[in-house]
């Protein structure tokens, strides 16, 4: 038997309702804030991610699905979508449009990770990006939108943690202080962290090794090193959040290690997911567009893991959508053609109809199936009905039945459904 590749999974029809609910909620919410969808390719030039995420990051160093195409070009299945959206922004010269550009995306991402609970090789993200302003109101409004989205999904225990990672003025000073703290502790750190110390010591905060996390928990905090402009920016973001009444926790050790990340950095955790399983991450990346060869345009965004979101939905959100309302049962071949025509007529007026052409099955078996499908009505096309161009309607809620002319079925069902 051929199985789905390791680290991937099928989303089956029984669970798709929750995915569609989340996605519709995202579109609905984001569009209220003037975000529009963008769809970029699933694969890109490898160089985009090397530059857009950073050569020394875990993702680029060991998690990318990279291969050579038939012409020997190195391409990579996207491990995240901020770099691709930034690439599209530059390629289509979106900075020329007046005002801010706000975009969202929903789609699969690929990382070669060790599969475990909540960690897949193909997973999905719902994300947004705002380009064109470094005003702290952009940070605050986008965070408010995020919390509104999570609220609509019923995730009321979502905890927002926030920090500022400074800018090219103050971060070098902090970096020095951090290195001064780390140097004497080098031997206690994992190999990855020792590499990170040389590359970019801020990344040591991303380390998942327990002992290293303990070391990092006592490291100097970047918040004590922010320059006046960064301090002012962060102060205003948190002021706006207070004005909104959005609960948040300041976490001075929430650090994103790449150079083009600036100022606001945040994460949302859910109790059920555990401390290392963030639901989402995001922040400001004012240097990214420039790094990718575009103009100096600031950006802000976040990406939510859709698997984790769907997994965390309250049971009450287990919506089933698109399930059939009407089941058509036939008892012989002559009923089949009538059933096809009746079903078409009903679908044309918007009804969801299921017709399984299995006239050899007993009527009783077909009714059992209709019951399992939880339809509201069964239409029976028995011998007499077919002969008289009639249909028997059985209402499942009370078992009542009536037989009416075939051409009145649509109108009668509308009456009964409304009642």
Q: What are the CA-CA distances from residue 118 to residues 27, 91, 97, 174, 319 (Å)?
A: 23, 34, 39, 33, 22
**Rounded least distance, CB 265 to ligand AMP, Å:** 10
Sign of CA dihedral 266, 268, 274, 276: negative
Q: Which is nearer to ligand AMP, 269 or 330 (CB)?
A: 269
The one-character DSSP state at 158 is: -
**Rounded least distance, CB 266 to ligand AMP, Å:** 11
- 111 binds ligand AMP per the rule CB under 6 A: yes
Q: Which is nearer to ligand AMP, 199 or 206 (CB)?
A: 206
- What is the Cα 39 distance to its own chain's centre? 14
**Rounded least distance, CB 62 to ligand AMP, Å:** 13
Q: Which is nearer to ligand AMP, 182 or 280 (CB)?
A: 280
Between CA 57 and CA 364 the distance in angstroms is: 62
The one-character DSSP state at 71 is: T
Q: Which is nearer to ligand AMP, 240 or 266 (CB)?
A: 266
- 119 binds ligand AMP per the rule CB under 6 A: yes
- 393 binds ligand AMP per the rule CB under 6 A: no
Among 123, 149, 260, 261, binds ligand AMP (CB under 6 A): 123
Laid out side by side, the sheet with 249-250 consists of: 36-37, 101-110, 122-131, 299-305, 280-284, 264-269, 159-164, 249-250
Q: Which is nearer to ligand AMP, 102 or 111 (CB)?
A: 111
Maximum pairwise Cα distance, the chain: 93
Q: Which is nearer to ligand AMP, 116 or 397 (CB)?
A: 116
Q: Which is nearer to ligand AMP, 276 or 371 (CB)?
A: 276
Q: Which is nearer to ligand AMP, 76 or 125 (CB)?
A: 125
Laid out side by side, the sheet with 390-395 consists of: 353-355, 326-330, 377-381, 390-395, 401-405
Q: Which is nearer to ligand AMP, 125 or 330 (CB)?
A: 125
**Rounded least distance, CB 188 to ligand AMP, Å:** 26
Name the one range near ligand AMP by CB under 6 A: 13-21, 116-124, 173-181, 352-360. 116-124
**Rounded least distance, CB 399 to ligand AMP, Å:** 47
Q: CA end-to-end span of the chain, whole Å? A: 50
Among 120, 138, 204, 237, binds ligand AMP (CB under 6 A): 120
**Rounded least distance, CB 328 to ligand AMP, Å:** 42
Q: Which is nearer to ligand AMP, 8 or 46 (CB)?
A: 8
**Rounded least distance, CB 60 to ligand AMP, Å:** 12
Name the one range near ligand AMP by CB under 6 A: 114-122, 202-210, 320-328, 394-402. 114-122
**Rounded least distance, CB 237 to ligand AMP, Å:** 19
| Stated length of the chain | 419
The label of the residue with tokens 């703290």 reads 181
Between CA 256 and CA 260 the distance in angstroms is: 10
Q: Are 329 and 373 in contact (CB under 8 A)?
A: no
Q: Are 115 and 271 in contact (CB under 8 A)?
A: no
**All residues at 6 or more sequence positions from 403 whose CB lies less than 8 Å from its CB, including other chains:** 385, 390, 391, 392, 393
**Rounded least distance, CB 262 to ligand AMP, Å:** 16
Site for ligand AMP in 254-313 (CB under 6 A): 278-281, 303, 305, 307-308
Q: Which is nearer to ligand AMP, 81 or 223 (CB)?
A: 81
Q: Where are the alpha helices (DSSP H) in 77-227?
A: 82-91, 136-152, 171-182, 191-199, 210-217
Name the one range near ligand AMP by CB under 6 A: 69-77, 111-119, 246-254, 323-331. 111-119
Between CA 323 and CA 188 the distance in angstroms is: 57
Strand duo 159-164 + 249-250: pairing: parallel
Site for ligand AMP in 50-89 (CB under 6 A): 80
Closest CA to 105 of 313, 306, 317, 318: 306
**Rounded least distance, CB 39 to ligand AMP, Å:** 18
| Chain residue at closest Cβ approach to ligand AMP | 305
Question: Contact residues for ligand AMP (CB under 6 A)?
Answer: 80, 111, 113, 118-120, 123, 125, 278-281, 303, 305, 307-308
């Amino acid at each position: 038997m051929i199985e789905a590749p390791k680290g991937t999974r099928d989303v089956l029809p029984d669970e798709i309702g929750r995915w569609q609910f989340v996605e519709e909620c995202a579109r609905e919410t984001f569009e209220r804030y003037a975000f529009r969808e963008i769809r970029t390719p699933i694969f890109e030039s490898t160089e985009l991610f090397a530059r857009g995420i950073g050569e020394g990051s875990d993702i680029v160093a060991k998690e990318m699905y990279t291969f050579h195409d038939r012409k020997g070009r190195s391409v990579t299945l996207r491990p995240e979508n901020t770099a691709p959206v930034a690439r599209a922004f530059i390629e289509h010269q979106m900075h020329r449009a007046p005002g801010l550009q706000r975009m969202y995306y929903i789609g699969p991402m690929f990382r070669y990770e060790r599969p475990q609970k909540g960690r897949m090789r193909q997973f999905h993200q719902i994300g947004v990006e705002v380009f064109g302003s470094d005003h702290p109101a952009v940070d605050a409004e986008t965070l408010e939108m995020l919390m509104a989205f999570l609220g609509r999904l019923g995730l009321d225990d979502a905890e927002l943690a926030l920090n500022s990672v400074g800018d090219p003025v103050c971060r070098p000073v902090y970096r020095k202080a951090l290195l001064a703290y780390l140097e004497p502790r080098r031997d206690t750190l994992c190999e990855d962290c020792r590499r990170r110390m040389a590359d970019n010591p801020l990344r040591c905060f991303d380390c998942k090794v327990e002992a290293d996390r303990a070391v990092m928990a006592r490291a100097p905090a970047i918040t004590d090193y922010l320059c006046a402009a960064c301090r002012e920016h962060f102060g205003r973001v948190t002021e706006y959040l207070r004005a909104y009444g959005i609960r948040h926790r300041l976490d001075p050790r929430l650090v994103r290690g790449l150079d083009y990340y600036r100022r606001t950095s945040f994460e949302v955790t859910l109790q059920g997911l555990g401390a290392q399983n963030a639901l989402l991450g995001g922040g400001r990346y004012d240097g990214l567009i420039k790094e990718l060869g575009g103009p100096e345009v600031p950006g802000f965004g976040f990406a939510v893991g859709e698997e984790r979101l769907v997994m965390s939905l309250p049971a009450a959100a287990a919506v089933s959508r698109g399930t059939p309302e009407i089941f058509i049962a036939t008892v012989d071949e002559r009923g089949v053609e009538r059933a096809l025509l009746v079903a078409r007529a009903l679908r044309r007026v918007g009804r969801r109809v299921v017709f399984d052409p299995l006239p050899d099955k007993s009527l009783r078996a077909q009714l059992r199936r209709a019951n399992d499908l939880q339809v509201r009505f069964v239409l029976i096309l028995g011998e007499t009905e077919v002969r008289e161009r009639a249909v028997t309607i059985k209402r499942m809620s009370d078992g009542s039945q009536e037989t009416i002319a075939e051409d009145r079925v649509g109108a009668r069902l509308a009456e009964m459904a409304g009642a």
